[in-house]
Amino acid sequence: MKSTILKFIFISILLAIVMPVHAASALQVWECTLKEGKTPQDAEAVSIAWLKAAQGLKGGDQMDVYLTYPVAAEAGGGRFNFVMVVPSFADWGEFENGYEGSAAAKADDDFADIATCSGSSLWASVKME
């Protein structure tokens, strides 16, 4: 618990220093692989259930989730990305703070039955207008 709080504080300070003021969205991306016998439709079903639970958390109410699949250059093999998009890093932080023990955290178990995901990366998305 203490390491989670320290991690959040460190990331928040780092983002405040390096993030441009106009960064609109926070994206968190996991690289995943389907387990034996599982299909993209299985991943989509558990992702929808996870998203509904996640949208019930503070900071997650406007969240979107995308599954991206490779279609060229080493396509296939059950690989996909799970991409979580929230409107701001403040929303992302609120969501992360309330995640432990939530319905979304419990839905992770169902997701783990479908796919294995490696660590995530956090991205800033700046929309060009």
Question: Is residue 4 pLDDT above 60, yes or no?
Answer: no
Determine the average pLDDT of the residues in 34-45: 96
User: Is the model's pLDDT at 84 over the cut of 70?
Assistant: yes
Strand ranges, E, within the chain: 25-34, 64-68, 79-86, 115-125
Over residues 13-26, the pLDDT tens digits come to: 555 544 454 557 99
The arithmetic mean of pLDDT across residues 99-118, rounded, is 94
Q: 89's torsion region: left (phi>0), alpha (psi -120 to 50) or beta?
A: alpha
What domains appear along the chain, each with residue ranges and CATH number? 2-125 (3.30.70.100)
Query: pTM, whole model, 2 decimals?
Result: 0.79
